[in-house]
Amino acid sequence: MKFLRDFLDKQKPQFEKGGRFEKLHSTFDAFETFLFVPDKTTSNGAHIRDAIDMKRTMIIVVIALIFPLIFGIWNVGYQHYLSHGMDYDFWPMFGFGLLKVLPVIVVSYVVGLGIEFAFAQSRGHEVNEGFLVSGMLIPMVMPPDVPLWMVAIATAFAVIIGKEVFGGTGMNILNPALTARAFLFFAYPAEMSGDKVWIAEKADAYSGATPLGHLLVMETDKVPSVWDMFIGVIPGSIGETSTLAILLGALVLIATGIGSARIMASVFAGGMLMGWLFNLWGANAYMNIPAYQHLVMGGFAFGAVYMATDPVSASQTARGKIIYGLLIGMIAVLIRVFNPAYPEGMMLAILLMNVFAPLIDHYVVESNIKRRLKRAKVAVKA
Amino acid sequence: MSNVIRIKKGLNINLVGEAEKTIKELSTDQFAIKPTDFIGVFPKLLVKEGDEVQAGTPLFVDKYRDNIIFTSPVSGKVSEIKRGAKRVLLEVRIESDGKFAAVNFGAGDPSKMKREEIVDKLLQSGVWPFIRQRPYSVIANPADLPKAIFISTFDTSPLAPDNNLIVQGQEDIFQKGLDVLIALTKGKVHVNVDAQSTPSQAFTAAKGVQVNHFAGPHPAGNVGVQINKIDPINKGEVVWYLYPQDVLVIGRLFKSGIYNATRVIALTGPEVLNPVYYRTFVGARLENMVKSQLTAVEKRFVSGNVLTGTKIDLDGYIGFYHTQVTVIKEGNYHEFLGWAVPGFDKFSISRSFPSFLFRNKKYKLDTNMHGGHRALVMTGQFEKVFPFDIYPMQLLKAIIVEDIDLMENLGIYEVDEEDFALCEVIDTSKTDIQVLVRKGLDLMRKEMS
C-alpha cells in the first residue's frame, strides 16, 4: 500500500492551509483517514491508547446490521412474488429485492454524507462516522416501495434538523434515523401507512397489511403465525421483519460490547410487562394476544436492538438505561393497543424517550449528588 | 487479611518489559530539579550558575508559599539554569561532585518533638514537597491539619516498580518515617497494601498505623481510589498522601539529620533490552541509565508509567515524584485500513478486536492514537474502569462547561488526573481527559482560594 500512501502524502499539502484545495480539507481528511489510520501520536496524558476508534465502533454496528439487511432484501423479493402468486428460487427474489433496496441505500448515503461533508467543511472539523450507521438504518425502516425523492428529503431533514442544528454527531437529542422515519410518517402518511406500501409492486388483489395493520382493525384471525413473524416472512419495512436476523445482529453488538445489552434487555422486558398487563385486563381481542407476540411484531425488535441503543440519544447512566428501556417497551405496546391512528408504537416510543432521556439521567445523577451531600453532613457532625 | 477491600472495576494493562528484581547503582553526575513537576508552584530562584551546593542547600522557593523550599539532592555545583519561553524556569541542573556532602539538619525523635518542630525540619530540609494533598494533588499546606494521611505501598499501573524490593533492608527507616507522619495528622495514617501478593513486613507490620488490604485490577493501587473507599474527601477536607520512597526520605532525615533523597528507579518497557532497577537520587539524568540498553526503533521516554508519566528527552531528567522510567515505541505511522482489519495483536478493552480472547497476553504498545478526535458519543465505557461512586462522563462535561457548583456536587474533590488515566486510554473519542481533569482541578483550586 506504499504507492497509495505516497500518493496521499504528495496530495496532502494542496489540501492544507494555504493550499489550492484548502476548502476541501475535511473531505480529503475523511478519505485519508478512511484508508489509513492517522499517524498522530499521544501528546498529553496517557501515552498509550486503546485500538478502538469511532470508525471501528461504527463498522461493528454496520456488520450487525448486515443480517437483517440481507434478510430484508430477500423478503422484499419474496413478498412481491408471493403477492403475485409466484414462487422462485432464492436468487431471483434476492435480485428483485436488491433492485428495490439498493437505490434507497445509495440515496440515503449520498444525501446524508453529502450534507455531513458540507457541514464538516464549513465548521472546519473532521467528518464524523455516525452517519455510516444512520445511512444504513434509514433505508431499513422504509417501506419497500418508498419513492426515492422521499428518502432524499427525509434524510436531509434528519441530518440537518435532527443532528446538525444541535452541533452534529454526539449533540443530537433525537435518533437521526427515526427522525427521518417520523418526518415521512407525518408528512406523507399515505405512503407510510395503510396496507398498500409494505409489499413492493404488490398485486392489487392481495392484502398487504402488516400484522399490526390487521390487529389495528381487530382482525386477529389474519395475523400470521408467531413463527412466521419471528422468521420474518411477513410484509413490513425493509429491515425490520425478521426478529431472528435482528437477534443475530444483537448478538454481534452484545458480544463486542458496542451495543448496550442493558437497554436491549429492558426494552424487551418493558414490552413483555405491558403486554402481560393488557392480558390481565383483557378488554378486547388486541389486549388478549400473548405478550411475547408483541416482541416479534412490527418494529419492536429492530427498535430495541438498533434504535433505542443509540448512545447519543439514549440515557447515559447505567440505571437510567434500564428505566429508559423499560419505558420504551411499555409505551410502544401502549401506543399499539390504544391508539387507533398509528399501528406501530415503537418509533414514537423511542422518540418520546429520547426526549426524556436527559431528564432520567438528571434524576439518576441527582441521587448521586444527594448521597455525597449526605455523607458530607455526617462528616461535619462527627 | 480480615477485611480485604475489593476493587471490581478497572483494567490491568500487561506490557512487555517488566524490570528484573535486582538493583544496580547508576553512575551519573547530572541531576536536575524541575519546578514544572510541582503543580501550582511559582519558583523564586535562590542560586545562580556556578554556585557550590550541598545536599539540602535551597535551590528555589515557592513565590506564594515561601516556606516551601526545594533543595539540592546532591552536592556539587549548579551547572545550568534552564529557562523556556517567557523565561519560565524549567530546570535547575546540578553537577554532582560525587562526595555527597550534606547540610546537617539534626536527627530527631518525632515522639519527643512538637508538631511545629517536625514541620519546620521537613520544610527546612526540602523534604516537605514529598508530602502532597488531595484535593488538587499539590504540595501540602504546612498550616493544614489533615484528616488522614494515606500511603499506597503498591502500584498497579503498567510495569510498576515493586516497592517490596525497594524497602527491603530499610524497614526501620520506613517505620521512622511513619512515626513522623503519625505526629502530623489528627486522624489516622493509612498504609494500604496489596492483598493479592505478600507485601513486605515493613508495610504489614508497621506500628501506629492502620493497615488496609486492597485487591483488584488497576487503579486499585491509586491512592485516590483507596481514599475513596476508606475515608472519602468531602468539601473542605484535606488528606495528605505519600509513596513509600517518600516515607524513606523522611525516615532518613530524622535518623541521620540529612536530606538523603535516594531513589530506586525501575527502568521498564518493551524497548528496553535489560529492564532492571537503578539506585540514584531524585532528579537523575536519564541518559546513562538507558545507554546501550535500547532497541533500534524510534522511542519515547516516559518519566513515570505509560498512563500518567511525562515525556522526557534522552538527555532529560527523571521527574521529582517518579520512581519508574518506561520506554515505548513512537507510533508515528499510518496503518492501512487499520480500523477494518481483525487486529489480533491490538490492545482494546472493547471486544471489537479478537485479542480480547487472550486475557493474559503481554503487549508491546506504542504511542499511536489509533484514530482521530471525535465528539463524546459512546456511553458506559468509563464506568467499567472507574471504581468511584462518581459519574465520570457527567463530571467531565461539567468541567468542559466550567460549572463550578456541578463539579463540586459530582465529586471533583475526590479525584485526580491519574484516576481518569484508564478512561483516557479506552476512550473511543480520543479526548485528552487527563488534561481536562487537571483544568477542572486548577479551576476549582483558584475558585476556592
Each residue of A186-200: pLDDT tens digit?
998 887 777 777 887
Condensed to tens digits (0 to 9), the pLDDT of residues B6-57 reads: 999 999 999 999 999 999 999 888 999 999 999 999 999 999 999 999 999 9
Q: What is the CATH number of the domain that holds B206?
A: 3.40.50
Asked if residue A48 is part of any domain, the answer here is no
Asked if residue A40 is part of any domain, the answer here is no
| Secondary element (H or E) of residue B276 | strand B276-281
Q: Residue A314's pLDDT is what?
A: 93
Of the candidates B96, B116, B133, which is a domain's last residue? B96
**Number of compact structural domains in chain B:** 3
CA distance A267 to chain B (A): 17
Provide, rounded to the nearest whole percent, the portion of chain B with pLDDT above 70: 100
Contact between B394 and A170 using a beta-carbon 8 Å cutoff = no
- Interface check for A55 against chain B (CB to CB < 8 A): the answer is yes
Residues B163 and B227 in one domain: yes
Residues B47 and B187 in one domain: no
Q: Is pLDDT above 80 for A205? A: no
Given pLDDT bands bounded at 50, 70 and 90, which one contains residue A382?
A: low
Residues A20 and A87 in one domain: no
Q: Residue B346's pLDDT is what?
A: 84
Q: What is the CATH number of the domain that holds B62?
A: 2.40.50.100
Q: Residue B56's pLDDT is what?
A: 94
Asked if residue B165 is part of any domain, the answer here is yes
**One-letter amino acid for residue A264 of the chain:** M
Strands B4-6 and B188-194 turn out to be unpaired
Question: Of B234, B377, B394, which is closest to A169 when you measure between CB atoms?
Answer: B377
Residues A69 and A170 in one domain: yes
Cβ-based neighbour number of residue B49 at 10 Å: 11
Cβ-based neighbour number of residue B318 at 10 Å: 30
> B57 — phi, psi (to 5°)?
-75, 130
Contact between B425 and A50 using a beta-carbon 8 Å cutoff = yes
Asked if residue B336 is part of any domain, the answer here is no
Give the mean pLDDT of B147-162.
95
Q: Residue B1's pLDDT is what?
A: 47
Given pLDDT bands bounded at 50, 70 and 90, which one contains residue A244?
A: very high
Q: pTM above the 0.80 mark?
A: yes
Q: Is pLDDT above 90 for A130? A: no
Residues B86 and B171 in one domain: no
Residues A180 and A275 in one domain: yes
- Interface check for B400 against chain A (CB to CB < 8 A): the answer is no
Residues A19 and A68 in one domain: no
List of chain B residues whose C-beta atoms are within 8 Å of the C-beta of residue A361: 394
Residues B65 and B209 in one domain: no
**One-letter amino acid for residue B230 of the chain:** I
List of chain A residues whose C-beta atoms are within 8 Å of the C-beta of residue B371: 37-38, 52-56
Domain that holds residue B449: 370-449
Contact between A46 and B346 using a beta-carbon 8 Å cutoff = no
Given pLDDT bands bounded at 50, 70 and 90, which one contains residue B2?
A: low
Asked if residue A137 is part of any domain, the answer here is yes
The answer to whether the beta carbons of residues A24 and A121 sit under 8 Å apart is yes
Asked if residue A351 is part of any domain, the answer here is yes
Q: Residue A365's pLDDT is what?
A: 94
Q: What is the CATH number of the domain that holds A77?
A: 1.10.3430
- Give Rg (Cα) of chain B: 22
Of the candidates B210, B233, B256, which is a domain's last residue? B256
For residues A225 and B438, the model is more confident at: B438
Contact between A311 and B331 using a beta-carbon 8 Å cutoff = no
Residues B110 and B251 in one domain: yes
Query: How far, in Å, are A240, B273, B323 from residue B27 at the CA level?
Result: 70, 18, 17
Residues B142 and B208 in one domain: yes
Residues A104 and A27 in one domain: no
Taking a contact as any Cβ pair under 8 Å apart, which residues of chain B between 45 and 84 contact chain A? none
List of chain B residues whose C-beta atoms are within 8 Å of the C-beta of residue A365: 391, 394, 410
Taking a contact as any Cβ pair under 8 Å apart, which residues of chain B between 282 and 311 contact chain A? 300, 302, 306-309, 311
Give the mean pLDDT of A343-361.
93
Residue B293 burial (10 A CB sphere; 0-12, 13-18, 19+):
middle
- Give Rg (Cα) of chain A: 23
Asked if residue B340 is part of any domain, the answer here is no
- Interface check for A293 against chain B (CB to CB < 8 A): the answer is no
* Short-list B21, B16, B366, CA closest to B161: B21
**Residues facing residue B256 across a β-bridge:** none
Residues A23 and A123 in one domain: no
Contact between A170 and B376 using a beta-carbon 8 Å cutoff = yes
Residues A26 and A69 in one domain: no
Residues A359 and A260 in one domain: yes
Asked if residue B249 is part of any domain, the answer here is yes
Q: Is pLDDT above 50 for A220? A: yes
Q: Residue B169's pLDDT is what?
A: 92
Of the candidates B232, B256, B280, which is a domain's last residue? B256
Asked if residue A51 is part of any domain, the answer here is no
| Secondary element (H or E) of residue A262 | helix A261-281
Asked if residue A79 is part of any domain, the answer here is yes
Condensed to tens digits (0 to 9), the pLDDT of residues B215-253 reads: 999 999 999 999 999 999 998 899 999 999 999 999 999
Taking a contact as any Cβ pair under 8 Å apart, which residues of chain A between 3 and 42 contact chain B? 4-5, 33, 35-42
Strands B52-53 and B76-83 turn out to be antiparallel
Q: What is the mean pLDDT of chain A?
A: 88
Give the mean pLDDT of A219-223.
79
Beta strands in B46-178 (DSSP E): 52-53, 58-62, 69-71, 76-83, 89-96, 132-134, 148-152
Asked if residue A69 is part of any domain, the answer here is yes
Q: Is pLDDT above 90 for B388? A: yes
Contact between A37 and B366 using a beta-carbon 8 Å cutoff = no
The percent of chain B in helix, strand and coil, each rounded to the nearest 5, is 25, 25, 50
Domain that holds residue A214: 57-367
Asked if residue A287 is part of any domain, the answer here is yes
List of chain B residues whose C-beta atoms are within 8 Å of the C-beta of residue A369: 409-410
Contact between B372 and A260 using a beta-carbon 8 Å cutoff = no
Given pLDDT bands bounded at 50, 70 and 90, which one contains residue B104?
A: very high
CA distance A7 to chain B (A): 13
Residues A85 and A230 in one domain: yes
* Short-list A296, A268, A265, A277, CA closest to A337: A277
Give the mean pLDDT of B295-322.
93
Rounded distance between C-alpha atoms, residue B316 and residue B116, angstroms: 37
The answer to whether the beta carbons of residues A116 and A159 sit under 8 Å apart is yes
Residues A141 and A240 in one domain: yes
Residues B401 and B376 in one domain: yes
The answer to whether the beta carbons of residues B103 and B55 sit under 8 Å apart is yes
Residues A87 and A210 in one domain: yes
**Number of compact structural domains in chain A:** 2
Taking a contact as any Cβ pair under 8 Å apart, which residues of chain B between 139 and 178 contact chain A? 158
Rounded distance between C-alpha atoms, residue B53 and residue B207, angstroms: 37
Residues B91 and B110 in one domain: no
List of chain B residues whose C-beta atoms are within 8 Å of the C-beta of residue A264: none
Q: Residue B35's pLDDT is what?
A: 95
Residues A228 and A288 in one domain: yes
